[in-house]
């Protein structure tokens, strides 16, 4: 059951000071600061609400979430030690895996038959831990694939170029804009397979944005990326949130998390063990224990 | 040894009806395997249904050839749907197994003695393709030949060849139109990574099904040409190796290219016939030891197929992208 919302000022000062520094004070972020940091807490304007979500593999319960809400328009980090169920949770929500039980609501609508493509068309786009840039297509073609509602993608219209030329042109312009923004414009016509690992991450993120999604879910966007590129990736994530897109991302590195997240959800052994503003969570005893692998029962007494 | 005859035979095979049939089969397979990544090992099943659909409609039911042809194509389409619905959601390997098995099942059923009343069973079926040859504009007297020297066709052959290559050109152009479109782009994305396509909102199953149907119908066209050319169909003509010849032609010409399957089919028949004719001529040479001549006599066909297989192995080793393919694109695979 969702806990009641407590507009407590006393829980927030740490979080506030961090946001002052990062210079991203938007009206979007304000309301979340008043939410009491506690697992499963209700949020003012959730885009994603999960209830009783459970997935087990044999005897291992990978995900077991009573209640979790993701606030709209902010950056939420999903952290937790290895094997905590972060990626499994991503797979469940985006329809790439099937939950044993439980239900979730996206953008105010119940997700009844989760299929990845249908969810993507409804505005939930994800990226993958192992980047899925399409190596044999050019960077531009990769981008164009991300565009939604293409007339030319329907077989009856495909042979007749005039039917889809204008739309293709508009999509190309949009793609060029995004490529420029993500510093990939010079690679536009190269095959995506020739990009470096970090550039592929950038491409995958840019491609996800082609559909103007409501929610972007990034699975370890910073993994295996050199520090300079990682910095630029972080910048893009921040910009995304500023433009009104909700971002959820998985990350290991605590420093990264504290820098750009508005809210942090901590998973351990498939359960939400803590959530709250980044500073709050990072200094949370329970979280530290989970990361260091100490038994939770021992410290919570 | 008469190289004129060898060359004439090879050139006739390269531009004759056999190459047309192979080219159409390869164009269809190119949509499955080349552009969508569907591992279809049962392309011969589509050819077979195209050929038998046409033949049985005319021979057994006495319908017009112009009704028989659409029936043949429809059966190929129906096979695509029947194969696709249960298997396209499965792993690529499952699809390969099911397609090769399905094609064999169909061949065995068609060729069984129980089916004699319908398909002619093991006796094969034959019909009168007069409706097609009535339209023949080429004079077809016993003395009429079209071509130069040993590279010449009869009037009837010329008519099949004209219609056949026109069909190949038309189908190739149609494939070009749909593959260069955003629709074709989605196919290529599925070929590389289904999950990526899904995450971008593409209904992968639906696209695969469309590709399977289009490639299947084009395979059916190959069967229709085959039925008209031979005025019938024989179950032994649709063994699994037909699919493998089709793959050879496709790989030879270059997968996922527009002209690759056509070039590959032409080259496949040219090489095969050249080697076979050469061996036949060689066997007749007086200086050859008797034992070798006896061995060559009658086994030219087998040896030439073996040589084509060897050529395919060498091709895969030294030019895996085929004649027209893009080397860089191939190398990206190796990562």
Q: Domain range holding A146?
A: 134-194
Same domain, A19 and A142: no
Same domain, A89 and A55: yes
ipTM score for this prediction: 0.85
> Which residue is associated with the tokens 């066209």?
B221
Residue among B181, B192, B202 whose CB faces A159 most closely: B181
By CA distance, what is A163's nearest residue in B? B181
Distance CA B284, CA B301 (A): 15
The pLDDT tens digits of the residues spanning A272-281 come to 998 988 888 8
Distance CA B282, CA A249 (A): 71
CA separation, residue A208 to residues A133, A147, B185 (Å): 11, 9, 16
Distance CA A295, CA A293 (A): 6
- Residue B52 falls within a domain, yes or no? yes
Same domain, A86 and A232: yes
CA nearest neighbour of A42 among A30, A29, A32, A27: A32
Residues on chain A touching B196 (C-beta within 8 angstroms)? 128, 132-134
- Residue B328 falls within a domain, yes or no? no
Same domain, A26 and A164: no
Q: Total structural domains in chain B?
A: 1
Q: Does B200 touch chain A (CB under 8 A)?
A: yes
Same domain, A45 and A113: yes
| Tokens found for residue A265 | 């959800």
The pLDDT tens digits of the residues spanning A6-46 come to 444 444 444 444 444 444 445 556 677 777 778 888 888 89
Same domain, A22 and A116: yes
Q: Do residues B223 and B47 lie in contact, with contact meaning Cβ atoms separated by under 8 Å?
A: yes
- Residue B329 falls within a domain, yes or no? no
Same domain, A110 and A160: no
- Residue A207 falls within a domain, yes or no? no
- Residue B327 falls within a domain, yes or no? no
pLDDT of residue B249: 93
- Residue A225 falls within a domain, yes or no? yes
- Residue A76 falls within a domain, yes or no? yes
Give the list of residues 6+ apart from residue B253 with CB closer than 8 angstroms, or none. B26, B259, B260, B261, B262, B263, B264, B265, B267, B322, B323, B324
Other beta carbons within 10 angstroms of residue A67's beta carbon come to 18
A3, pLDDT greater than 60: no
- Residue B51 falls within a domain, yes or no? yes
- Residue B331 falls within a domain, yes or no? no
- Residue B269 falls within a domain, yes or no? yes
- Residue A27 falls within a domain, yes or no? yes
Residue among B192, B195, B199 whose CB faces A135 most closely: B192
- Residue A98 falls within a domain, yes or no? yes
Same domain, A145 and A264: no
- Residue B149 falls within a domain, yes or no? yes
Q: Do residues A208 and A239 lie in contact, with contact meaning Cβ atoms separated by under 8 Å?
A: no
**Mean pLDDT across B182-201:** 95
Same domain, A238 and A278: yes
The pLDDT tens digits of the residues spanning B196-253 come to 999 999 999 999 999 999 999 999 999 999 999 999 999 999 999 999 999 999 998 9
Same domain, A154 and A220: no
Q: Does A116 touch chain B (CB under 8 A)?
A: yes
Other beta carbons within 10 angstroms of residue A169's beta carbon come to 10
Q: Domain range holding B282?
A: 3-322
Distance CA B162, CA A221 (A): 57
CATH number at residue B65: 1.10.3470
Which residues, numbered 146 to 175 in chain B, qualify as contacts with chain A under a Cβ-Cβ cut-off of 8 Å? 174
Q: Does A172 touch chain B (CB under 8 A)?
A: no
Q: Does B329 touch chain A (CB under 8 A)?
A: yes
- Residue A247 falls within a domain, yes or no? yes
The pLDDT tens digits of the residues spanning A93-117 come to 999 999 999 999 999 888 887 899 9
- Residue A3 falls within a domain, yes or no? no
Q: Do residues B115 and B121 lie in contact, with contact meaning Cβ atoms separated by under 8 Å?
A: yes
Q: Total structural domains in chain A?
A: 2
pLDDT of residue A1: 42
Map residue B200 onto helix, strand or coil: coil
- Residue A200 falls within a domain, yes or no? no
Residue among A155, A193, A211 whose CB faces B201 most closely: A211
Same domain, A222 and A92: yes
Residues on chain A touching B329 (C-beta within 8 angstroms)? 136, 191
Same domain, A109 and A20: yes
Distance CA A237, CA A232 (A): 9
């Amino acid at each position: 059951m969702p806990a009641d919302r407590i507009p407590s000022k006393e829980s927030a000062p740490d979080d506030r000071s961090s946001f002052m520094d990062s210079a991203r004070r938007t009206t979007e972020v304000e309301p979340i600061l008043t939410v009491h940091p506690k697992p499963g807490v209700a949020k003012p304007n959730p885009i994603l609400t999960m209830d009783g979500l459970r997935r087990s593999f044999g005897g291992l319960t990978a995900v077991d979430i009573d209640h979790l809400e993701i606030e709209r328009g902010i950056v939420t980090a999903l952290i937790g030690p290895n094997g905590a169920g972060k990626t499994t949770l991503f797979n469940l929500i985006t329809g790439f895996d099937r939950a044993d039980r439980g239900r979730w609501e996206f953008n105010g609508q119940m997700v009844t038959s989760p299929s990845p493509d249908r969810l993507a068309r409804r505005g939930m786009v994800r990226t993958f831990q192992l980047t899925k840039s399409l190596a044999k297509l050019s960077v531009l073609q990769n981008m164009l694939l991300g565009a939604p509602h293409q007339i030319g993608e329907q077989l009856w219209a495909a042979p007749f170029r005039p039917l889809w030329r204008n739309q293709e042109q508009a999509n190309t312009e949009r793609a060029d804009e995004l490529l420029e923004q993500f510093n990939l414009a010079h690679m536009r016509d190269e095959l995506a397979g020739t990009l470096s690992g970090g550039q592929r991450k950038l491409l995958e993120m840019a491609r996800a944005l082609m559909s103007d999604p409501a929610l972007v879910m990034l699975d370890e966007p910073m993994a295996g990326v050199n520090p300079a590129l990682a910095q630029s990736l972080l910048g893009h994530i921040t910009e995304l949130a500023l433009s009104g897109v909700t971002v959820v991302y998985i990350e290991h590195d605590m420093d990264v998390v504290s820098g750009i997240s508005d809210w942090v959800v901590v998973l351990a052994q498939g359960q939400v063990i803590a959530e709250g503003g980044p500073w709050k969570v990072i200094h949370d005893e329970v979280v530290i224990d989970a990361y260091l692998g100490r038994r939770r029962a021992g410290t919570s007494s | 040894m008469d190289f004129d005859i060898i060359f004439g035979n090879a050139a006739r095979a390269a531009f004759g009806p056999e190459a047309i049939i192979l080219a159409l089969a390869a164009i269809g397979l190119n949509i499955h395997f080349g552009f969508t990544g569907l591992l279809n090992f049962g392309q011969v099943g589509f050819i077979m249904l195209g050929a038998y659909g046409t033949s049985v409609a005319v021979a057994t039911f006495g319908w017009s050839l112009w009704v028989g042809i659409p029936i043949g194509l429809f059966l190929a389409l129906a096979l695509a749907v029947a194969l696709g619905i249960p298997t396209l959601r499965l792993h690529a390997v499952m699809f390969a197994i099911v397609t090769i098995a399905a094609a064999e099942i169909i061949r065995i059923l068609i060729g069984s003695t129980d089916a004699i009343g319908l398909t002619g069973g093991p006796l094969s079926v034959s019909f009168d393709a007069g409706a097609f040859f009535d339209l023949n504009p080429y004079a077809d007297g016993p003395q009429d030949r079209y071509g130069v020297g040993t590279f010449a066709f009869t009037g009837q052959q010329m008519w099949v060849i004209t219609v056949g290559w026109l069909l190949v050109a038309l189908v190739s152009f149609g494939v070009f139109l749909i593959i260069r479109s955003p629709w074709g782009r989605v196919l290529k994305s599925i070929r590389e990574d289904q999950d990526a396509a899904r995450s971008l909102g593409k209904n992968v199953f639906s696209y695969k099904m469309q590709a399977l149907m289009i490639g299947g119908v084009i395979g059916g066209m190959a069967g229709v040409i085959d039925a008209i050319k031979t005025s019938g169909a024989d179950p032994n003509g649709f063994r699994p190796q037909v699919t493998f010849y089709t793959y050879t032609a496709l790989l030879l010409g270059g997968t996922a290219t527009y002209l690759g399957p056509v070039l590959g089919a032409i080259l496949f028949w040219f090489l095969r016939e050249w080697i076979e004719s050469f061996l036949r001529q060689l066997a007749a040479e007086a200086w050859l030891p008797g034992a070798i001549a006896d061995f060559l006599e009658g086994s030219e066909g087998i040896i030439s197929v073996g040589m084509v297989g060897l050529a395919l192995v060498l091709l895969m080793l030294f030019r895996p992208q085929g004649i027209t393919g893009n080397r860089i694109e191939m190398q990206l695979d190796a990562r």
